Structure 1
Amino acid sequence: MAVARLLSGGEAQRLMLARGLASQPDLLLVDEGAA
């Protein structure tokens, strides 16, 4: 896995979204999730 400081802003956002979805939450709150 890439070190977080080596990721661009968009890559870091996608990584965090993927991590959130991987845990299969009942509810996922996102702010501008499609941006």
Structure 2
Amino acid sequence: NVRMVYQTCAFETAWSDEYASPWCDLLVPEEFK
């Protein structure tokens, strides 16, 4: 589910100032449209 991957990416990235969540690597801009 792309929405869950997006939410996990956002949450984990916001949680840590040092790195982006590895879940973000699964997303491409076209999936947000």
TM (norm. structure 2) is: 0.49
Question: Greater relative contact order: 1 or 2 (C-alpha under 8 angstroms, separation 6 or more)?
Answer: 2
**Structure with more helix by fraction:** 2
TM (norm. structure 1) is: 0.48
